Amino acid sequence: MAEEEKYVQAIVDKSQDFSGWYGDVVIQAQLADYAPVKGCMVIRPYGFGIWELMQSLLDARFKATGHQNAYFPLLIPESFLAKEAEHVEGFAPQVAWVTQGGEDRLEERLAIRPTSEAIICSMYSKWIDSWRDLPVLINQWCNVLRWEKVTRPFLRTTEFLWQEGHTAHRSEQEAEEEVLRMLGVYRDFIQEDLAIPVVPGRKTENEKFAGALRTYSVEALMGDGKGLQAATSHNLGQHFARVFNITFQDEDGERKFVWQTSWGLSTRMIGAVVMVHGDDAGLIIPPRIAPVQAIIVPIWRKDAEKEAVRATVEKVEASLKPAVRVRSDWSEHTPGWKFNEWELKGVPLRLEVGPRDVQKEQVVAVRRDNRAKEMVPWVKAPDRVPELLAEVQSSLFSRALAFREANTRNADILADFEEIIADQRGFVNAHWCGQTACELAIKERTGATIRCIPMDQAREEGECIYCRLPSHGRVVFARSY
Amino acid sequence: MAEEEKYVQAIVDKSQDFSGWYGDVVIQAQLADYAPVKGCMVIRPYGFGIWELMQSLLDARFKATGHQNAYFPLLIPESFLAKEAEHVEGFAPQVAWVTQGGEDRLEERLAIRPTSEAIICSMYSKWIDSWRDLPVLINQWCNVLRWEKVTRPFLRTTEFLWQEGHTAHRSEQEAEEEVLRMLGVYRDFIQEDLAIPVVPGRKTENEKFAGALRTYSVEALMGDGKGLQAATSHNLGQHFARVFNITFQDEDGERKFVWQTSWGLSTRMIGAVVMVHGDDAGLIIPPRIAPVQAIIVPIWRKDAEKEAVRATVEKVEASLKPAVRVRSDWSEHTPGWKFNEWELKGVPLRLEVGPRDVQKEQVVAVRRDNRAKEMVPWVKAPDRVPELLAEVQSSLFSRALAFREANTRNADILADFEEIIADQRGFVNAHWCGQTACELAIKERTGATIRCIPMDQAREEGECIYCRLPSHGRVVFARSY
């Protein structure tokens, strides 16, 4: 084995250039690559492995709350998209249009879905007839396209993968309950599975979904102090029901419009995981969504040692397999090179097995998050390794929460607000009068937007940081992705 | 409970009008619906539930053979598609073109992928550098678009869902091994999980994939005697490697082109399941891919009986849950209506629980495939129900195999061949000289095409059914979907 092999994948220093660091990590850990189509990316197997785990965990939560999956067409006739006025205004500038099919020039342009309300509503108006047909609780996992000017892998790309839930209900109250239920599903998924703390809240009128009555979101803080909208849940009211004529005969015999919701989460969350947990050595993937949870690195100098090490590695690997996504790295590289490579890839736990460990009947476990080392006797590995993974999961969340708390500040006057946003970033809790004009003026001046009006907003009398009109509680501002 | 409720979902008689029957079953069992976009369909939750199970079973087989999933862009620049001459010629007439993105008219048209060789090869040329990088074994699950003139739900639609594997290898032999390995994976999946017997074989030059060196397929026989290409596996040779410049430095220091394969299976297989197993009462879904494997139908006349029945149903349902996808139907319909409904939906096993069954501590199990009835004591249900499901699975396969055998005939002269194809359809084994001219003439004359040159083709001297030139074995002809 070559002793002097040097690990060459230098990545930019995170504290110096967060954006450069992010790009390096995404590319070098082989999460994704740039595609030869403007604004598009390829999700490589390692990145897609994370997405598959996210999908399976989130999908189980959807099914546990009574939702089923379906699949609706990619293409939406322009006239459908145009039915809901706010909706078309919000999305038309971002639509990719199909104008030619085979040899035929199309009579009506077809939009590649930027979101699927229009096509799904057209089907719901056909499927729903009686109160007995309600609620309709459908989700789809699919690709969507939004023509973007500035793109970054995962965070903003022309094409991305997501899920979009679309439900129809008998009453306004039922729809609102669904909207909040799914917001809670997102909060739990992101906090428990992705180890990212979020602030659930309501979006302002200005930031709500095009066509919605109300939008809720969960908001996260990235490692550079910028906010990121992690998922959204919309109460669509009867806006779409009225234009797509989705009605049902109620128990009282009356024909009524349904109440609808929609909610979504995308591959953007892979970018959030990178930005919240990563460090100068690369990715740190929370164990629950790590394609490889533990990597065994065999260490030997002489060929004579190799066989004993191999026997131990195989035994340990087999004993862990039922409960842990474990692999061993028998490539030709040096142990040092492997350590760097698997740290770059963010594998939560490294298990080293050298000749001395063979003798002592142990493995050396090294945590990726804090590099804490621990000798684990072979026989205890099947119990101890899952425990260590659970500890990494929970400590990643605690660390992210502590970071967010340290970077959440109150501001009561505009000068302080501007200084915080410019110098420290983070979340800034400030009073706001509720007027869109103030919201936009603050954005213009500082680049910060209202991320949300938090669900647990405490009543507190104050004055709008911009116009000094009275306010009864603080909202969360940040610069954002 | 209303006693006289009539089940109204009449479906066309299968033997009278197979095509009408197929359409009725697909729509009324709520597998899919027509979308308001030409040639597109919506896969409804019940149909998508089947697809999810197919995906999970097939994906496990891909992973067991060392493949990983990834995701490549939907849009392919026209110039990429044009690189491989046969490929573009084969697919260009079927491509949907994006010409406008947001406010911008695009300088180069973008194809919505009809298949992804072109975009994937462009990435492989970037990723592959050394023999150490090989093999590359990647699959993707995605939507594709092919502008079709005549469409039918699942069988031929403008947009469909599929998986496409794309691999790169060091040698021709390795690539050919992969092609045959994946053909075997498809054969096993379709026979074992979908209970559909298939003939694996090689496609003729005329029927091969546009751009491939050789195409293999597995061919199935539908209930109306027409053939259906169930999945394909292509040896791409170095065709794409040469035009996309995918090279690697081999161990001997030389720069060489890789050898590639691609292989795919689509939502078309849902249509195949309908056409192979269904009967006049509707769908029959093989248990392994049935979203609901057993439906419990409670039966009672007086309210006093209902509670005892409910207690039993709940007990039985709970005892089956760990091993069986089971549901109970407490809707307001009559038992007779429910029997019809769940038969239409093809649920493999019905479990009836009435007051007499409560007393006898049993359930009445009725198989969907042959309506065989059996009393199963409660305590034995957790063992017996999975056994019954396994029996349904295997008997569906046997029945389909017997049907295929009864509908596979030899023909040695053209008049017989024409008569069989016109009157009885089915697979016809006949001698063929190997010339495309004869193949096309037979197609022109009878509508039958060569489905494949079977892998287990027995050496047998004969004469081409069309030109009477010598032939050394029979090939499989059929009219096909």
What pLDDT digit, counting tens, does each position of B217-251 carry?
999 999 999 999 999 999 999 999 999 999 999 99
pLDDT at B449 over 50: yes
Cβ–Cβ under 8 Å, residues A258 and A247: yes
pLDDT of residue A4: 63
Q: Are A407 and A427 in contact (CB under 8 A)?
A: yes
- For residue A48, the distance in angstroms to the closest alpha carbon of chain B comes to 5
| Cβ–Cβ below 8 Å for B161 and A71 | yes
For B374, the 3-state DSSP assignment is: strand
- Residue of chain A nearest B43, judged by CA positions: A71
State the DSSP H helix or E strand holding residue B263, giving kind and residue range, or none if neither.
strand B259-266
pLDDT in tens, B454-468: 998 889 999 999 999
Those residues whose C-beta lies under 8 Å from the C-beta of residue B180, and which sit 6 or more positions away, are B216, B233
The tens digit of pLDDT for each residue in A6-31 reads: 777 789 999 999 999 999 999 999 99
Optimal mutation site among A40, A71, A112, A160, interface B, most CBs of chain B within 10 A = A71
Closest-approach residue (CA) in chain A for B98: A98
Instruction: Give, for B296, the enclosing helix (H) or strand (E).
Output: strand B294-298
Average pLDDT estimate for A459-473: 96
Q: Is pLDDT of A2 > 50?
A: no
B466 min Cα distance to partner chain A (Å): 35
**What pLDDT, on a 0 to 100 scale, did the predictor assign at position B44?**
98
Query: Bridge partners of A10?
Result: none
Say whether B451 sits in a helix, a strand or coil: strand
Secondary structure (H, E, C), chain A: CCCCCCCCCCCCCCCCCHHHHHHHHHHHCCCEEECCCCCCEEECHHHHHHHHHHHHHHHHHHHHCCCEECECCCEEEHHHHCCCHHHHHHHHHHCEEEEEECCEEEEEEEEECCCCHHHHHHHHHHHCCEHHHCCEEEEEEEEEECCCCCCECCCECCEEEEEEEEEEECCHHHHHHHHHHHHHHHHHHHHHHCCCCCEEEECCHHHCCCCCCEEEEEEEECCCCCEEEEEEEEEEECHHHHHHCCEEECCCCCEEECEEEEEEEECHHHHHHHHHHCECCECCCCHHHCCCCEEEEECCCCHHHHHHHHHHHHHHHHHHCCCCCEEECCCCCCHHHHHHHHHHCCCCEEEEECHHHHHHCEEEEEECCCCCEEEEEHHHHHHHHHHHHHHHHHHHHHHHHHHHHHCEEECCCHHHHHHHHHHHCCEEEEECCCCHHHHHHHHHHHCCEEEEEECCCCCCCEECCCCCCEECCEEEEECEC
Which run of H or of E encompasses B389? Answer: helix B381-406
Question: How many contacts, defined by CB atoms under 8 Å, are there between A and B?
Answer: 151
Q: Find residues 89-128 of chain B whose CB sits inside 8 Å of chain A.
A: 93-104, 109-110, 112, 119, 122-123, 126-127
* A51, A72, A100 member nearest B42 (Cβ): A72
pLDDT of residue A458: 87
Using the beta-carbon criterion (under 8 Å), do B35 and A112 form an inter-chain contact?
A: no
| Count of Cβ atoms closer than 10 Å to residue A127 Cβ | 15
Cβ–Cβ below 8 Å for A96 and B101: yes
Tell me the C-alpha distance between A75 and B36, whole Å: 10
Stated as kind and residue range, the H or E segment containing B231 is strand B227-237
Q: Tell me the three state secondary structure of residue B262.
A: strand
CA distances from B86 to B203, B211, B212, B300 (A): 16, 5, 9, 65
Q: What is the pLDDT of residues B89-101, one digit of tens each?
A: 889 889 999 999 9
Residues of chain B with pLDDT > 90, as a percent, come to: 92
Chain-wide mean pLDDT for chain A? 96
- A147 contacts B80? CB cut-off 8 A: no
What is the C-alpha separation between B52 and B60, in angstroms, rounded?
12
Cα–Cα distance measured from residue A129 to residue A235, given in angstroms and rounded to the nearest whole number: 21
Nearest Cα to Cα of residue A268 among A227, A208, A210 = A227
Whether the CB of B398 is below 8 Å from some CB of chain A: the reply is no
In this prediction, residues A171-200 reach a mean pLDDT of 98
Q: Do B37 and A77 touch (CB under 8 A)?
A: yes
* Continuous segment of H or E residues that includes residue B185: helix B172-188
- Checking DSSP bridges between strand A199-202 and strand A449-454, what pairing results, if any? antiparallel
Query: Which pLDDT does position A465 carry in this prediction?
Result: 97
Q: Could you tell me where the beta strands, DSSP code E, fall in B382-436?
A: 408-410, 427-431
- Which residue of chain A has the CA closest to B74? A159
Kindly state whether A45 is in contact with chain B, defined as any CB-CB distance less than 8 angstroms: yes
| Contact assignment for B73 to A103 by CB distance below 8 Å | no
Residue A236 has pLDDT above 80, yes or no: yes
Residue with token string 């970037």: B126
**pLDDT surpassing 70 at residue B106:** yes
| Residues of chain A above pLDDT 70, percent | 99
Measured in angstroms, the CA of B402 and the nearest CA of chain A are apart by 34
In tens, the pLDDT along A401-445 reads: 999 999 999 999 999 999 999 999 999 999 999 999 999 999 999
Both tokens of B346, joined, read 């093809």
Q: What is the pLDDT of residue B1?
A: 43
Which of the 8 DSSP states describes residue B3? S
What domains appear along chain A, each with residue ranges and CATH number?
A: 18-277 (3.30.930.10), 292-387 (3.40.50.800), 410-478 (3.30.110.30)
Give the model confidence (pLDDT) of B74-83 as tens digits.
999 999 999 9
Sign of the C-alpha dihedral, residues B227, B185, B322, B378? positive
- Contact assessment for residue B63 and residue B49, using Cβ atoms and an 8 Å cutoff: no
Does A44 contact chain B (CB < 8 Å)?
Answer: yes
Q: Is the pLDDT of residue B379 over 60?
A: yes
Q: Put residue A241 in one of left, alpha, beta given phi > 0 → left and psi -120 to 50 → alpha.
A: alpha
Query: With contacts defined as CB-CB under 8 Å, which chain B residues touch A51?
Result: 71
Interfacial B residues in 144-173 facing A (CB < 8 Å):
145, 147, 158-159, 161
Q: Measure in Å the smallest separation between the Cα of B123 and chain A Cα atoms.
A: 8
Would you state the pLDDT for residue B4? Answer: 63
Closest of A474, A466, A465, A476 to residue A428, by C-alpha: A476
Write down the mean pLDDT value for chain B.
Answer: 96
Count other Cβ atoms within 10 Å, centred on residue B46: 19
**pLDDT(A325) > 70:** yes
Residue found by looking up tokens 């070559």 in the block: A2
Q: Residue A427: what residue type? A: F
What number is the average pLDDT over the span A54-83?
Answer: 97
Name the token pair of B70. 């990834």
What pLDDT, on the 0 to 100 scale, is given for residue B338? Answer: 97
Contacts of A43 by beta carbon, 8 Å cutoff, 6+ apart: A31, A32, A51, A161, A267, A270, B70, B71
CA triple B467-B472-B475, angle to 5 deg: 75
Quick one: pLDDT at residue A1?
Answer: 43
B51 contacts in chain A (CB < 8 Å)? 71
Return the SS3 of B70: coil
Pick the residue of A30, A31, A67, A75 with the most B CBs within 10 A to test the interface with B by mutation.
A75
* Tokens read off for A131: 């109160």
Question: In sequence order, which ranges of B226-302 are alpha helices (DSSP H)?
Answer: 239-244, 268-277
Q: H helices of B35-161, where?
A: 45-64, 78-81, 85-91, 117-127
Q: At what angle do helices A172-188 and A45-64 cross, to 10 degrees?
A: 140
**Cross-chain residue pair B143–A74, CB shorter than 8 Å:** yes
Q: How far is CA B126 from the centre of its chain?
A: 33
Q: What is the largest CA-CA distance in chain A?
A: 85
Q: Is B361 exposed, middle or buried (0-12, 13-18, 19+ CB in 10 A)?
A: exposed
DSSP lists the bridge partners of residue B233 as B216, B263
B42, B100, B145 member nearest A70 (Cβ)? B42
A97 contacts B98? CB cut-off 8 A: yes
Three-class secondary structure of residue B382 per DSSP: helix
Q: How far, in whole angstroms, is CA B111 from its chain's centroid?
A: 26
Rg (CA), chain B: 25
pLDDT band for position B84 (cuts 50, 70, 90)? confident
* Spatial distance between the Cα atoms of A37 and A47, rounded to a whole number of angstroms: 19
pLDDT at B343 exceeding the cut of 90: yes
State whether residue B229 is helix, strand or coil: strand
Q: Cα B310 to the chain's mean position, in Å?
A: 39
Nearest in space to A215 (alpha carbons), one of A174, A262, A256: A262
What pTM was computed for the model?
0.96
Confidence check: pLDDT of B7 > 90? no
CB contact under 8 A, B126 and A161: no
**Angle A287-A290-A294 from CA coordinates, rounded to 5°:** 75
Give the model confidence (pLDDT) of A279-310 as tens digits: 999 999 999 999 999 999 999 998 889 999 99
Contact A58, A194 (CB under 8 A): no
Tell if the CB–CB gap between B159 and A76 is shorter than 8 Å.
no
- The number of beta carbons lying within 10 Å of the beta carbon of residue B59 is 16
Q: A439 — phi, psi (to 5°)?
A: -55, -45
pLDDT tier at B2, thresholds 50, 70, 90: very low
Contact list, B110 vs chain A (CB under 8 Å): 37, 96
Give CA separation, B218 vs B142, B198, B451, in Å: 21, 6, 9
Amino acid symbol at A309: V
pLDDT tens figures, B411-445: 999 999 999 999 999 999 999 999 999 999 999 99
What is the pLDDT averaged over residues A166-194? 98
User: Residue B307: which residues within 8 A CB-CB, separation 6 or more?
Assistant: none
- Selected residue of A30, A34, A42 to mutate for chain B interface (largest B Cβ count, 10 A): A42
Return the residue of B nearest to A159 by Cα.
B73
Residues 256-315 of A with CB under 8 A from B: none
A463: distance to nearest CA of chain B, Å?
Answer: 41
Residue A294, burial from CB neighbour count under 10 angstroms (0-12, 13-18, 19+): buried
Say whether A70 and B35 touch across the interface (CB within 8 A).
no
- pLDDT of B6 over the 80 cut: no
- Chain B contact present for A42, CB below 8 A: yes
